[in-house]
Structure 1
């Protein structure tokens, strides 16, 4: 279980989680314009579509995680899965960053990265490779699989919680996440995420959770 679940509040309503910082707080690395478009239009759009789909249904009072797990792999409920997963993924992404973040972690998460990847440098290289090699839209994730940390990538709306994995961090590599600031330079965006934005405290909370 992660710390970003959204509970249906009855009547089919999922509430979009607030940003954990002001829209301009990640500048100069992600602009206020990017955050406002991404959070206010893309993320909000998934919430609105999901609410329309689950209104009056058995999903109305479930958590996002429960909706994702119930609809994963169901061809009749692909739309519900896609929108629910994107609500979760985006909420998780906002929390995976913070003002003054990035750089090398400390504490338990640092020890675990050292143990499972050999060094922070090897982790960074593997994470960036996953983010850059994701063809088209998707996500790169640091996850816990049993006792081991792994890096995976998912396409479109897919999410590790549908696969029984515990996400610790994610970076959004859909073009709308970075195009206003970085155009086609995904590598620069991913490097900036790792160097200046990653919220290691969030990752460690998920590791312990």
Structure 2
């Protein structure tokens, strides 16, 4: 069990406490540090948990970030505890060389390292509804490689509904800036193939079930309202420059 300390992640009080805190404006009181000791840490959300309303509710965001993501970080650090040389590597390098990871911890690192990488990307590419759409080189790449934003959204949503059980849908980007659509099971990530995710959407039930229940297609459609295309454009530029990590 994770022990709370002083930072700004969910405390063990649970969803009911979070709902009360959000509704009364006391969001900070619903958070405490659950980050375990180790080389990897839980990144703070770059916005308030309620910032994505009404498309993604604050309660889901709080639990998703402060419980699920925090658990991936804790378990990843636990798996690396006795593997100091491995723990010194960047996460993208560890995941790109899973076949070289000791078999005893390989599955734990695959699942939890992938979960940490995927969610770290996920929080970065979202923001308050109402921002501008893709622009500049990013828009040109979406048009040329994926048939435009509308076709991308349609294909992306279809791929998301077809993921059996839990997984992710990604748009990947190579160093030349070329885009492609892929889906992955569980917490697998394009990093495991030496690739990079430009964007990705989490279709595990914990990402949407409180608000959308079994209506994954509705969640996938609504999610586009909170994509932060400015942040995505920055990731695209970093990918072309060879500096995009997670």
Aligned to 2:91: 64
Aligned to 1:82: 111
Q: 1:175 to 1:128 in 2, by over 3 A?
A: same
Q: 1:74 to 1:64 in 2, by over 3 A?
A: closer
Aligned to 2:205: 175
1:35 aligns with 2:65: no
Greater RCO, CA 8 A, separation 6+:
1
Q: Which runs of 5+ in 1 are unaligned?
A: 1-10
TM-score (norm. length: structure 1): 0.88
Q: 1:128 to 1:85 in 2, by over 3 A?
A: same
Consecutive aligned runs of 4 or more in structure 1 exceeding 3 Å deviation: 72-75, 101-104
DSSP-derived class of the 1:136 partner: coil
Aligned to 1:143: 172
Moved more, 18-27 or 101-110: 101-110
Q: How many residues align?
A: 198
DSSP-derived class of the 2:88 partner: coil
DSSP-derived class of the 1:201 partner: helix
Instruction: From 176, 182, 194, give the equivalent of 1:164.
Output: 194
Contact between 1:46 and 1:83, CA under 8 Å: does it hold in 2? yes
Q: Which runs of 5+ in 2 are unaligned?
A: 1-36, 239-246
Instruction: From 135, 138, 146, give the equivalent of 1:117.
Output: 146
Question: Cα RMSD (Å) of the superposition?
Answer: 1.8
Contact between 1:143 and 1:169, CA under 8 Å: does it hold in 2? yes
Alpha-carbon distance, 1:65 to partner: 1.1
Alpha-carbon distance, 1:117 to partner: 2.1
Q: 1:101 to 1:141 in 2, by over 3 A?
A: farther
Q: Could you list the per-position Cα deviations for residues 14-55 of structure 1 after superposition, in whole angstroms to 9, with x for gaps in the alignment?
A: 111111111111111111110111111110001111111111
Aligned to 1:153: 183
Moved more, 58-67 or 172-181: 58-67
